[in-house]
Structure 1
Amino acid sequence: YFPVPFIVGIYEFQLNNLSKPLLKDISQYYLTGLGATFHGQKTPHLRSIPINAEIVADQPIAPYDDAVTIIKGKSRIAVAECFCRKAVRLYGKTCSHPAETCLQFETFADYYVENGMARYISTDEALAILKQSEAEGLVIHILNSQKVEAMCCCCSCCCGMLISLKLFPAPALAVKSNYACLFDEALCTHCGVCAKRCTVGAFKMKDEKIEFHADRCIGCGLCVTTCPTEALKLTKKQNDSLYTPPPTVYDTYGVMSREKAE
C-alpha cells in the first residue's frame, strides 16, 4: 500500500463532489505548497505526447509516446468529464471545448465507472475524442508510465498544468518530452496559425513575423499538424536526451516517493 497523490489522484476523484468551497480550499493548498511540489518533482506526474507517429519526422517512436497506439492497445476504455473544465464552469466561466475528454484505461476505467465518474466507450469513440481534441488544439497528457493508465486532452484556458507551464520562463525544461519542434524559417509564410495553436507561447508574432522559442516547446506537435507550408516538424530528441518512463504509474509513484526522501 501507499498513499494516493493529491494530484493526480484525490483531486480528480472529487469529480462528483465539486463545490466552490472545495475549490477554494484546493486553490489555497496549491498556492501555499502543492504547486511548488507538483512542478518541482524530478519525475513528473504527467507527460505530453504527440497524437500519433505520423507527425514525427521519419523516426520510430515508442508505443507509450503515441496516443493513437495507446488507445488501440486497450481492452477497456472509459471517458469522464474534464475536472478542470467542470471546475471553471462552476464559476460561470466559459470554455468552448467538450466536457468529456478525460480517458481512463483497464482497471482505472473500471474504478471510474464503478464509482459513477465515467462511462465505458468503444475504441472508435475514444479515437474520435482524440481526433476532435487535436482539431481543437488540446494537448494530450498521459500519466507518466509506459502502461499509460489515463489520458487527458487539455486546454490552456482551464488546465492547471498548462496555465502554470505558460508562466515558466522555459517550459521545455520542466517537462519530460521526447520530442521537439524544428522550425524552418525559409518555408514559413508567417501566417500565425502556430502562435494561435501553441498553448505555452513557443511561437510569437512580432513585427508580422513568427518567432520560435525552443525553450518553451513541450513537444506536443499541435503546431505541426496545422502548418500550411510544412515549415514545422516534430523531431525525436537525441538518444542521450530520451526519457523512458517507469513501467506503471505505481512504479512512477514509487520513484517520486524515493526522490522526496533524498
Structure 2
Amino acid sequence: MRIVRTVADLRETIGGWRAAGETVALIPTMGALHEGHLSLVRLGRDRCRRTVATLFVNPKQFNQASDLAAYPRTEESDAEKLTSIGCDLLFAPDAAEMYPPGFATNVSVRGIGDELEGAARPGHFDGVATVVSKLLLQALPDVAIFGEKDWQQLQVIKRFAADLNIPVTIEGAPTVRDADGLALSSRNVRLMPANRSKAPLLHAVLQRVAVAVRAGADPVEAVQGARRELAAGGFDPIDYVEVRDGTTLGPPGAGPRRVLAAAWLGGVRLIDNIPG
C-alpha cells in the first residue's frame, strides 16, 4: 500500500488508475482504525477495483480543543491494518494541506445538520461537510463509503453531495458491533472496565424503543422510558434519545424511521442508532 500526503500525489495516483479503466472507492476516516473501519474498506474492495482510505483528524469538526487533543493518533498501526486487508492507497494529509493559509470556505447543511448531533455539537456538521466535500472533490471516486453508526452524518453527506452535484455515489455500511451489542468506536477504548460492562445498555434500550414503536406505542412515551432506563444504568448526561424520520431526521412520518441516541458514560460520549 502506498501512502501519499498531498492532493497532487493523490490525484496523480488515481489518475493513473482512471487511465487504466479502473474504478475507485473512497473510505474517509480519522484513524484509530477498528474492525468497523476495516469493514468499510472490504466493502470498497467488493465495489471497486481500487480502494483509497483517508486519515485526517479534522479540527473543524471538534467542539472542544481538549477533545481534539485527546483523539488517538495511530497512523503506523492504521497503515499496517489497511495493508493487511489489501487497501491500495492511504491519503494522510496534514492540516496545512487540507486548510492552507487563506482558507475561507464553509459547507453547511441546514435543517438536517441542525438536529440532534448538530444541536448537541454546534458547528460539528459544518466541519464534517466541509472536509468530506474536499475529500470527495480531491479524489473524485466512483463510490464513497461511510458507516451507518454515524447515521445523521451519512444523511448530511448524502444531502450535500446531491445538492452540490458531486458525481460520487454515497453508500452506507452496517454498524459493526461487539458480541454484546456495543457499536465499535474509537472512543470505546476510553471506557473504564466498569463502564464498558454498562455500555451495551445503550443498544439494548434502542432495541426496546424500536420494538415498542413498531407495536404502536407512542414514540414520546417510549423515548421517555428509554431516558429513565439509561439514567438508572449510569448514563449521564443524556444528550438525546429520539425517534425520527430516517432520511430527513425530522419528526417521524409514514416513511422509514430511525431511533437515535447520544449519552455520556464515565466521561465518554457514546452514540448509536437502529431502524425504527
Band of TM-score, shorter chain:
under 0.3
Q: TM-score, normalised by structure 2?
A: 0.27
